[in-house]
Structure 1
Amino acid sequence: MANDDPNPYYRDTPTAPETAASAGVEEIGTAACWKLVEANSLGRLAIQSIDGRPDLFPLNYLVHEGSVFMRSAPGTKLRSLARHPDVALEIDGVDGAFRWSIVIRGHATRMDNDADIEASGVLTLESRSPTAKHNYVRLVPDTVTGRRFPVRSSSSTRRNISSSSGSGRRAPDEHVDHGAPGTRTADKPQPIPHLPPWGG
């Protein structure tokens, strides 16, 4: 006798995968990108190192007349820029209920003209790094792009990870029996043993 029941694996209508648009991701216009970049001073410079591998440097910057200016100490970064001047600078932050990220791609070179260095204002740029930085770099942008997306609460993110992991671990609010039969208490983490330092 034929079974008229549908295949149980096809009973539920599959949901469409989440896209950037459905997740609330929005493109940021160029003018708005520059406003965010100018209002901040910390970014991450992505470069191609002298060994051909990518590298990343957090640094302070400032904007002047459409270019981005940075300070640098002598070392790997400057040697890499001399060989591979094509770079990307990423800046991100939070604006109300949104997170945003701006990426500036362009050409970075070490400045060697005292008048240009002084006019850019980079001499007054403060760096959070304790090392002395007496070299100055100009990034001339080719493209400036940005995106923003709604801030999601960390509690909902943790719940999603816990429910979808399938690892068999207990959820944070699950209880286990550690006492007498018929009682349930919270599963508390065990303290980490403390040992004195050698020679102490």
Structure 2
Amino acid sequence: MNAAPDPVVNLTDDQCWAVLSGCKVGRLVTCVDRHPEIFPINFVTDGRSIVFRTAEGTKLFTVTIGSEVAFEVDGWDGTGGWSVIARGAAEQVRGDSEIDHLETLPLRPWVPIVKTHWVRIVPTEVTGRQFHFGPEPEKDYSLTSG
């Protein structure tokens, strides 16, 4: 008899990067003056970093004044789901040669807004989990105190 897979499996660092590389949309989390902000963004990976484009505004401002960010992608299908979170520093890319390199990546704005600012997130920590869907197990009431 085959045992059911563990319902939650931690992903390795390489598996987390494979998931990130296969995604197009994620959520950037910043914090300014103890107020969190969450922005959906389209992005690409560049080596072991996450790159996105943005226009002037709150997203760029929050990255400029507080470089520590979190970034999350997730998804699911009929059998399970997954989530990857990257934490680290974000910085606006300013060097011409680096911008020239980034311009070669497959990243274009999804909305008709000129986005001339490039931001790179260099994670210090990447974690992920895979979830296998299934029915909820019956609760064992003998384990509860009462």
TM class, shorter-length? 0.7 to 0.9
**8 Å contact 1:117–1:123 — kept in the other structure?**
no
The Cα shift of 1:82 comes to: 1.5
Partner of residue 56 from structure 1, selected from 14, 38, 47: 38
**8 Å contact 1:90–1:104 — kept in the other structure?**
yes
Deviation track 1:102-136 (CA, whole Å, cap 9, x = no partner) reads 00111000111111012134664123233221110
Residue 120 of structure 2 is aligned to residue 138 of structure 1? yes
Residue 11 of structure 2 is aligned to residue 28 of structure 1? yes
123 and 150 in structure 1: CA distance in 2 versus 1, 3 angstrom threshold: closer
Structure 2 runs not aligned, ≥5 long: 137-146
Residue 106 of structure 2 is aligned to residue 106 of structure 1? no
Tell me how many residue pairs correspond in the alignment: 132
Identity rate, percent: 34
The Cα shift of 1:64 comes to: 1.0
- Partners of 2:51 and 2:45 lie apart in 1 by 6
- What aligned pairs does 1:31-46 form with structure 2 within 5 A after superposition? 31-46=14-29
The Cα shift of 1:24 comes to: 1.1
- Partners of 1:96 and 1:33 lie apart in 2 by 20
**8 Å contact 2:44–2:105 — kept in the other structure?**
no
Structure 1 runs not aligned, ≥5 long: 1-21, 157-200
**8 Å contact 1:70–1:122 — kept in the other structure?**
no
Query: Which letter does structure 2 place at the counterpart of 1:68?
Result: I
- Larger relative contact order (Cα-Cα within 8 Å, sequence gap ≥ 6): 2
- Partners of 2:14 and 2:131 lie apart in 1 by 18
* Number of the residue aligned with 2:132: 150
* TM-score, normalising length: structure 2: 0.81
Q: Which has the larger radius of gyration?
A: 1
- Partners of 2:124 and 2:30 lie apart in 1 by 15
**8 Å contact 1:59–1:127 — kept in the other structure?**
no
- Identify, as 1 or 2, the structure richer in strand: 2
Residue 63 of structure 2 is aligned to residue 81 of structure 1? yes
Deviation track 1:63-97 (CA, whole Å, cap 9, x = no partner) reads 11211110011011111111110000001112562
- Partners of 2:133 and 2:30 lie apart in 1 by 29
SS in 1 for 2:37: strand
- Partners of 1:53 and 1:110 lie apart in 2 by 21
- Partners of 2:104 and 2:61 lie apart in 1 by 20
**8 Å contact 2:89–2:122 — kept in the other structure?**
yes
Partner of residue 129 from structure 1, selected from 108, 111, 125: 111
